[in-house]
Structure 1
């Protein structure tokens, strides 16, 4: 399997590494006593989907740029992964209102 760097310092290069990452995420989500797995698994699945879609969008965007074509994004900003997780939107939210604003954006607007 080809190594992929997800820009957070961790490289997921095998099924075991992916399993470990998912288990780690679930352990963190499980700490919230008010939520059970039936509530956080759909959110986790949606986040994985958004990340995968963002990877594919970036690839298609580069392809269109190389061919001097146009690319139309299926998800508008600020709802794309790169905007609220890694991009300027996260920085903008944390600069304006503190890190809690990123969480409120995810909870109130995204989900």
Structure 2
């Protein structure tokens, strides 16, 4: 497994996290980028090259699947496996925030 393959480790990069979140509803590439930028108030912007690289990895990992369509724009949707991984990553991220709050709010060590 390549060192940068966090999907295989069950951890998502921020870009991958937001792409999976976007695909809880069917969306094509441009709508994915637009959704992420709007959701994050511009804090996160994913370019087309990065997005399609991530989409390819997510399809190969069975975390998303392409939808049949007539148009030129290919849409994708999250799979049950992808949704489960997204939920696990939300828990992981929440635990990180909880740890940071514990330390930063001056409670010291556990």
Smaller-chain TM-score bracket: 0.3 to 0.5
Identify, as 1 or 2, the structure richer in strand.
2
* TM-score, normalization by structure 1: 0.34
Identify, as 1 or 2, the structure richer in helix.
1
* TM-score, normalization by structure 2: 0.34
Q: Which has the higher contact order (CA 8 A, sep 6+)?
A: 2
